[in-house]
DNA sequence: CTATAGATAATCT
DNA sequence: GATTATCTATAGA
């Protein structure tokens, strides 16, 4: 089986399993390629209070209900785009949030797109920066990362994927206010691009 | 280095 | 009208 077929099989798994299998895969869009090093899993309707799909299907979250590999992009905090990939059986509304990646191609382009001057390691460190480096916005909604002519593509090199489970860490998800004790965030140990956010956010 | 406040708009109630 | 799966500038140690 080729690597794209393996990825397709991985995306059909439940969110936490699919999430950890996305680590080490390559994401390409707009002439920039990143190696995914940090992700979070989100569940479907009625099963994950932190998920955008928790309440019900809406116009915004409808891409989450698509087949595995469907891209769901949302706009938040008045200025940031964040990218997800639907996973699990079609209609389950589970998804994986792409939180961080190492830029391995199109470095200068990614740098020129950044809102501020950033070191190479931080160009795609954080969900909004990742989307910005690849210039992913709302027009990508509904695309599939598994379709050859899609503007966003997910691939895997046979040598670098999947990542050894020894190198994968997990912990609580970031920036949410419910289900904070679910260890549904996964990252590659030691990657300089993994975001190191502060724990306590005061309001 | 750490900690905090402010920006800024679509979506949902 | 409140909330938000964030980032950056700025202040202080």
What was the pLDDT predicted at A159?
87
Q: Which residue is nearest to nucleotide B10 (CA to C1')?
A: A75
* Span CA (A99) to C1' (B11), Å: 21
Listed by start position, the domains of chain A span: 3-188
* Span CA (A34) to C1' (C10), Å: 31
Is the pLDDT score of A36 beyond 60? yes
Non-local (6+) Cβ contacts of A82 within 8 A are A73, A74, A76, A97, A98, A127, A128, A131
Contact between the CB of A177 and strand B at under 7 Å: no
Class of domain A3-188: alpha beta
pLDDT tens digits along A122-175: 999 999 999 999 999 999 999 999 999 999 999 998 889 999 999 999 999 998
Contact between the CB of A167 and strand B at under 7 Å: no
**How far is it, in rounded angstroms, from Cα A181 to Cα A184?**
9
- Nearest of A131, A114, A197, A160 to residue A123 by alpha carbon: A114
Average pLDDT on A30-38 reads: 97
Q: Which residue is nearest to nucleotide C3 (CA to C1')?
A: A77
A2 or A162, which is more confident? A162
Is the pLDDT score of A3 beyond 80? no
Is the pLDDT score of A54 beyond 80? yes
Which nucleotide, over all strands, has the C1' atom closest to the CA of A64? C5
Q: Which residue is nearest to nucleotide C9 (CA to C1')?
A: A116
Average pLDDT on A14-23 reads: 97
Is the pLDDT score of A202 beyond 50? no
Which nucleotide, over all strands, has the C1' atom closest to the CA of A200? B3
pLDDT tens digits along A78-133: 999 999 999 999 999 999 999 999 999 999 999 999 999 999 999 999 999 999 99
- Nearest of A124, A143, A125 to residue A134 by alpha carbon: A124
* Span CA (A129) to C1' (C7), Å: 8
**How far is it, in rounded angstroms, from Cα A151 to Cα A125?**
21
């Amino acid at each position: 089986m080729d690597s794209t077929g393996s990825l397709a099989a991985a995306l059909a798994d439940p969110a936490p399993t699919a999430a950890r299998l996305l680590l080490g895969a390559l994401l390409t869009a707009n002439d920039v390629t990143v190696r995914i090093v940090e992700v979070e899993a989100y569940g479907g309707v009625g099963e994950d209070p932190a998920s955008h799909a928790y309440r019900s299907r809406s116009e915004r979250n409808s891409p989450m209900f698509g087949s595995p590999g469907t891209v769901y992009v949302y706009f938040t905090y008045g200025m940031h785009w964040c990218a997800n990939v639907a996973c699990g059986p079609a209609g389950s509304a589970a998804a994986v949030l792409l939180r961080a990646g190492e830029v391995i191609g199109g470095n200068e382009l990614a740098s020129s797109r950044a809102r501020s001057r950033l070191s190479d390691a931080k160009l795609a460190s954080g969900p909004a920066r990742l989307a910005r480096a690849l210039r992913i916005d709302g027009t990508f909604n509904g695309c599939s990362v598994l379709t050859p002519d899609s503007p966003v593509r997910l691939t895997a090199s046979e040598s670098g994927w999947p990542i050894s489970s020894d190198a994968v860490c997990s912990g609580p998800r970031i920036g949410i206010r419910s289900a904070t004790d679910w260890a549904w965030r996964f990252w590659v140990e030691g990657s300089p691009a993994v975001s190191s956010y502060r724990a306590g956010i005061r309001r």
